[in-house]
């Protein structure tokens, strides 16, 4: 979420009929794993952005022409600057504040606001100069504390090495954890057999833990090139369906190369995934991201090549048949509709090869996302994904036709710092910046093979704390 948003990647792990029903849709579970690893990161970063946002006050709408008619009117310029800040026009706001300070340089609150605007424009040197001129002056204690806080942020931003640790713990529930078919039947060699026992639809709850460590190093170039790295530990422990306990270790290293035309981020990434405490999947691959900013519009093109090495487990001795390479390309854009709202979307295609052709497939997907900063640290994210999978050959142990799946996934997350809720009043200082979030997901799978047609609803509550050094 560092990276906007809450993104589904499926890894092609649908197991054949001879595997127990609760393990058949591990492809979906590992897709959730990848999506949630990204989602928890986005929650922390979106929460940080929401904390920075101030609720826009009701201001008289002023035009630039009105300001030009009275350029020496301090009140008019100040209201105009605040109005431009609320709209996200920081350059115009800084110009208006400069005019005020030329008329009266002793307005401490105006100089503080000017320094904050420069900080948000990433003009750290001038922001530092503007704020440091306030330090030796007499001013209210609350203004002095805010000056010191921003100077501390500037010193942190100007450091060449940045380290961030994010911890998320949560509790969730699923209505159909074992992906049981809606028809209550499963095909075996084109014969429909009724589901019984643990193959029937099972709801379940789980505990969640996600620990992420991010590191970036400024390489010392004027363009701002960076060396980046990250490590994520993910754990989801089921209450009843223990065979679907998920655990993963994921890391990447790469560099972010910046230019006036396009930014390029090549990354090497690897992971180790455990299913029910057994080593299930190892991956190694490269991600290659190109992105470009056009003011309120961001464009990106991302390609991924990943080698997937599946290992046999007690639930599935033929797991190695899924070993292969997954290649994906995705292109999309995000647009800032208002200062506190962003919309995004992307199109993509992926091909998964496999040792056995009936495990190979082509994927086409369409994603949309929406982020809304609601004020006072609150945020709301929504995402809708459509995905179509077409397999290369039929799995005759199940059916004599080629499998074709259509997925529709809707996700929504609401979050706010604990200080927004009444409980925040009684918490010690280190806990006040913890973000509480509540998410819902509806996953609908439609397939030409009844084994893979089902619906699952997931509800989750999480607490996230992010520390930056």
In a domain, 416, yes or no: yes
Q: Are residues 293 and 411 in the same domain?
A: yes
Q: Is 145 exposed, middle or buried (0-12, 13-18, 19+ CB in 10 A)?
A: exposed
| pLDDT surpasses 60 at 155 | yes
In a domain, 58, yes or no: no
| pLDDT surpasses 80 at 364 | yes
Going by C-beta distance under 8 Å and a sequence separation of 6 or more, which residues neighbour residue 425? 419
Judge whether 147 and 130 are in contact, CB under 8 Å: no
Closest CA to 228 of 259, 252, 260, 249: 252
| Higher-confidence position of 72 and 381 | 381
Judge whether 205 and 173 are in contact, CB under 8 Å: yes
CA distance 384 to 411: 6
**Region 398-424: what's the mean pLDDT?**
91
In a domain, 284, yes or no: yes
Going by C-beta distance under 8 Å and a sequence separation of 6 or more, which residues neighbour residue 315? 15, 19, 20, 23, 243, 275, 276, 278
CA distance 155 to 157: 5
Alpha-helix runs per DSSP H in 121-251: 124-132, 141-158
Q: Write down which residue in 158, 179, 207 finishes a domain.
A: 158
How high is the pLDDT of residue 25? 44
Q: Are residues 151 and 165 in the same domain?
A: no
Q: Write down which residue in 89, 124, 158 finishes a domain.
A: 158
pLDDT band at 19 (very low <50, low <70, confident <90, very high): very low
Q: Are residues 151 and 292 in the same domain?
A: no
Which residues are bridge partners to 248 per DSSP?
Answer: 234, 273
| pLDDT surpasses 60 at 30 | no
CA distance 446 to 409: 12
Token readout for 283 is 């991956």
Weakest-pLDDT range from 123-137, 236-250, 252-266: 123-137
Q: Write down which residue in 101, 134, 158 finishes a domain.
A: 158
Closest CA to 438 of 167, 164, 85, 171: 171
Token readout for 219 is 């390489």
pLDDT band at 66 (very low <50, low <70, confident <90, very high): low
In a domain, 250, yes or no: yes
Q: Are residues 301 and 434 in the same domain?
A: yes
Token readout for 50 is 């929401």
Q: Are residues 153 and 170 in the same domain?
A: no
Percent of the chain at pLDDT > 90 equals 52
pLDDT band at 55 (very low <50, low <70, confident <90, very high): very low
How high is the pLDDT of residue 70? 63
| pLDDT surpasses 60 at 23 | no
Residues 296-316: tens digit of each pLDDT: 899 999 999 999 999 988 877
| Higher-confidence position of 49 and 22 | 49
In a domain, 266, yes or no: yes
Percent of the chain at pLDDT > 70 equals 84
In a domain, 244, yes or no: yes
| pLDDT surpasses 90 at 425 | no
| pLDDT surpasses 60 at 120 | yes
**Triad 167, 172, 175: Cα angle to 5°:** 155
How many domains are contained in the chain?
A: 2
Q: Are residues 139 and 283 in the same domain?
A: no
**Region 416-436: what's the mean pLDDT?**
81
Q: What CATH number does residue 113 fall under?
A: 1.25.40.10
| pLDDT surpasses 80 at 68 | no
Q: Are residues 272 and 223 in the same domain?
A: yes
Residue 174: domain span: 21-42+160-468
| pLDDT surpasses 80 at 405 | yes
How high is the pLDDT of residue 114? 86
Weakest-pLDDT range from 1-10, 175-184, 410-419: 1-10
Residues 73-119: tens digit of each pLDDT: 777 777 878 877 777 778 888 888 888 888 888 887 788 888 888 88
**Region 221-244: what's the mean pLDDT?**
92
Q: Are residues 170 and 294 in the same domain?
A: yes
Closest CA to 169 of 469, 467, 463, 468: 463
In a domain, 438, yes or no: yes
Is residue 25 classed as helix, strand or coil in its secondary structure?
strand
How high is the pLDDT of residue 153? 81
**Region 434-460: what's the mean pLDDT?**
96
In a domain, 385, yes or no: yes
Give the H or E element holding residue 42: helix 26-52
| pLDDT surpasses 50 at 121 | yes
**Region 379-389: what's the mean pLDDT?**
96
Q: Are residues 324 and 306 in the same domain?
A: yes
Strand duo 404-417 + 435-447: pairing? antiparallel
Q: Are residues 142 and 186 in the same domain?
A: no
Q: Are residues 93 and 199 in the same domain?
A: no
Q: What CATH number does residue 307 fall under?
A: 2.40.160.40
| pLDDT surpasses 50 at 24 | no
| Higher-confidence position of 360 and 2 | 360
How high is the pLDDT of residue 17? 29
Q: Are residues 400 and 281 in the same domain?
A: yes
Most confident of 2-6, 23-27, 238-242, 328-332: 328-332
CA distance 228 to 181: 43
pLDDT band at 353 (very low <50, low <70, confident <90, very high): very high
Average pLDDT in the chain: 84
Alpha-helix runs per DSSP H in 141-289: 141-158
Q: Is 295 exposed, middle or buried (0-12, 13-18, 19+ CB in 10 A)?
A: exposed
How high is the pLDDT of residue 300? 97
């Amino acid at each position: 979420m560092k990276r906007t948003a809450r993104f589904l990647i499926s890894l092609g792990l649908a197991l054949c009929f001879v595997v127990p029903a609760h393990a058949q849709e591990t492809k979906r579970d590992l897709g959730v794993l990848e999506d949630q690893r990204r989602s928890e990161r986005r929650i922390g970063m979106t929460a940080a952005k929401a904390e920075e946002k101030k609720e826009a006050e009701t201001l008289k709408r002023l035009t630039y022409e009105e300001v030009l008619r009275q350029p020496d009117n301090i009140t008019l310029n100040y209201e105009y600057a605040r109005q431009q800040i609320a709209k996200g026009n920081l350059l115009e706001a800084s110009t208006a504040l400069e005019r005020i300070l030329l008329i009266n340089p002793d307005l401490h609150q105006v100089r503080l606001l000017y320094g904050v605007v420069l900080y948000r424009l990433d003009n750290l040197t001038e922001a530092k100069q503007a704020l440091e001129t306030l330090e030796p002056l007499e001013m209210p204690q609350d203004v002095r504390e805010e000056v010191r806080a921003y100077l501390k942020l500037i010193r942190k931003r100007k450091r060449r090495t940045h380290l961030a640790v994010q911890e998320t713990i949560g509790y969730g529930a699923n209505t159909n954890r074992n992906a049981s078919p809606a028809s209550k039947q499963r095909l075996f060699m084109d014969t429909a057999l009724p589901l019984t026992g643990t193959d029937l639809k099972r709801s379940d709850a789980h505990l969640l833990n996600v620990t992420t460590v991010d590191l970036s190093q400024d390489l010392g170039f004027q363009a701002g090139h960076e060396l980046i790295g990250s490590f994520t530990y993910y754990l989801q422990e089921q209450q009843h369906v223990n065979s679907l306990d998920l655990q993963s270790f994921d890391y990447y290293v790469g560099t972010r190369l910046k230019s006036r035309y396009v930014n390029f981020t090549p990354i090497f990434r690897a992971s180790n995934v455990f299913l029910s405490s057994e080593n299930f999947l190892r991956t190694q691959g490269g991600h290659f991201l190109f992105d470009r900013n056009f003011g309120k519009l961001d464009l990106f093109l991302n390609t991924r090549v990943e080698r997937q090495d599946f290992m046999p487990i007690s639930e599935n001795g033929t797991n190695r048949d899924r070993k292969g390479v997954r290649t994906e390309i995705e292109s999309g854009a995000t647009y800032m509709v208002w200062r506190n709202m962003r919309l995004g979307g992307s199109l993509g295609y992926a091909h998964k090869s496999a040792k056995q052709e009936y495990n190979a497939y082509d994927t086409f997907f369409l994603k949309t996302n929406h982020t809304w900063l609601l004020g006072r640290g609150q945020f709301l994210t929504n995402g809708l994904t459509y995905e179509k999978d077409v397999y290369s050959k039929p799995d005759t142990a199940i059916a004599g036709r080629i499998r074709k799946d259509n997925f529709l996934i809707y996700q929504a997350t609401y979050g706010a710092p604990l200080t927004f809720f009444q409980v925040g009043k009684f918490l010690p200082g280190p806990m006040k910046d913890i973000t509480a979030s509540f998410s819902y997901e509806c996953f609908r799978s439609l397939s030409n093979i009844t084994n893979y047609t089902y619906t699952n609803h997931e509800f989750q509550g999480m607490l996230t704390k992010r520390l930056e050094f």
